[in-house]
Amino acid sequence: MSDDPRTLVSTDWLAAHLKDPDLRVLDASWYLPELGRNAREEFDAAHIPGARFFDIDDISDARSDLPHMAPPPEKFMSRMRAMGVGDGHQVVVYDGAGLLSAARVWWLFRLMGHRDVAVLDGGLPKWQADGHPVEDMPPIIKDRHLTARFQNHLVRDVTQVSQASKLGSIQVVDARAAGRFKGEAPEPREGMRPGHIPGARNVPYDTLLNADKTMKTPDETRAVFEAAGVDLAKPIITSCGSGITAAILALALDRMGHDQWSLYDGSWAEWGMSPMVPVATGDA
């Protein structure tokens, strides 16, 4: 793969830059409760040297009833300062699943106006498989100011997505598994309707990944989107269950050079619970 410090970097790239004074590595591991994994405990036991833990559920909008919605810029700035992440830093985000939640934090940084942020391809599993070291030491942190410049065009709410669904001028692409998209598999949250946003296309996030959880090439990614009936000439809104894996689609689109994408932060956690918006089932 070709390394791009604004989207995706390899384990070899990170190993070569790990001691750069302006590099910050973040562990953004997050797991569904049924997996029985504790991301913070795993981080404390073993992480990439110098990494700081980014708690997706904590660094979120506490005023919202929806899970881990994007935090207000002031909260993001304050938490990043406390983690020693600030202006002028190159950020690399990884997770313990290979590639699941790291892209969500990549998107959060982009949302806050920071472009020098990349996801580690293959995450911690590939880092370790490639023979690179881990440690259990807490990082030494020095405060660093971070300026947030909120990028409204990178996030969409239920009203904007509803309008896009009705007009068809913007393509909605859903990252959930096909069974949930079609309404055939049960939803993990009680009271949630099965199905998808009318007019949406389905690109399950794992179809963009290789067996080792690294990302497919931009050309392979383009073929996956096109095979799913996605019109790449249109602006795209990515969606999923709760705004985590939708960011993998956003990352893939960005790597392909598609620059008219945004993420539906509420995703199915909001749409599936709202009686005010319609639901479709079956194929798109």
| Closest of 228, 206, 70 to residue 151, by C-alpha | 70
Has 240 been annotated as catalytic?
yes
Rounded-to-integer distance, Cα 230 and Cα 225, Å: 5
**Whether the predicted pLDDT of 284 surpasses 70:** no
Structure tokens at 241: 């269950």
Q: What is residue 187's predicted lDDT score, i.e. its pLDDT?
A: 84
pLDDT digits (tens, 9 = 90+) for 229-272: 999 999 999 999 999 999 999 999 999 999 999 999 999 999 99
pTM of the model: 0.97
Catalytic residue among 240, 244, 249, 263: 240
**Statement: residue 143 has pLDDT above 90:** no
Q: How far is CA 236 from the centre of its chain?
A: 15
> Amino acid identity, residue 107?
W
Query: Per-residue pLDDT averaged across 8-13, rounded?
Result: 98
Q: Which string of DSSP letters, residue by residue, matches 128-141?
A: HHTT---B-PPPP-
| Cα dist from 30 to 37, 53, 101, 110, whole Å | 9, 11, 6, 19
Residue 190's Cβ-count burial label (10 Å; 0-12, 13-18, 19+) is exposed
Set out the domains of the chain in order of their start, with CATH numbers.
Answer: 8-150 (3.40.250.10), 153-271 (3.40.250.10)
